[in-house]
Amino acid sequence: MAPKIPVTDLLFTKLQIVKINEKDLKDIVALFLDHEFGKEPCVNIEPDYLTKLTSEDWGVYKTFTDNLKKVLDFIGSISLSEEKKENVKKKVESLLSEIEKRPKSIS
C-alpha cells in the first residue's frame, strides 16, 4: 500500500526541523532506505522537487543541508549493515550535491 502523503513531502517535513533529534534522524534514514530517487510522488524521493525548494529559500537550504550532513554523521553510529549505510550515504551525498549545484535566491 502506497503512503497517503508523497514521500518527498514527508522527507521535507523531517529535513526542515531546526532542532533535529535522534528520532527524526532515524526517520530520515528509514525514508532513504525504503525509497529510491524517481518521479513517482507516493513511491519515490524526488530530488528535483527538493532542490527547487532549497533554491527558493535560503533558510530551507541551510536547514536541509545542515540536517543532511547530520544524517551522514549519524549513519555511522546506528546498527545497520554496511551495505545499507552505504546506500543511505550515496543518496544523501547525491542530494547534497544536487542542492549545491542549483542557484539560490537570497530571500
Rg (Cα) of the chain, in Å, rounded?
13
- Residue 66: in which H helix or E strand, if any? helix 58-75
Chain-centroid distance of CA 85 in Å reads 14
The residue extents of the domains of the chain are: 7-101
Question: What's the pLDDT at 107?
Answer: 58
Question: What's the pLDDT at 71?
Answer: 98
DSSP class of residue 37 equals B
Q: How far apart are CA 34 and CA 50, in angstroms?
A: 17
Question: What's the pLDDT at 28?
Answer: 98
Q: How far apart are CA 50 and CA 38, in angstroms?
A: 12
pLDDT averages per 10-residue partition of the chain, 107 residues: 79 97 98 95 91 93 97 96 97 97 79
pTM confidence score? 0.90
Residues 67/15, Cβ–Cβ less than 8 Å: yes
Question: What's the pLDDT at 92?
Answer: 98
Question: What's the pLDDT at 103?
Answer: 83
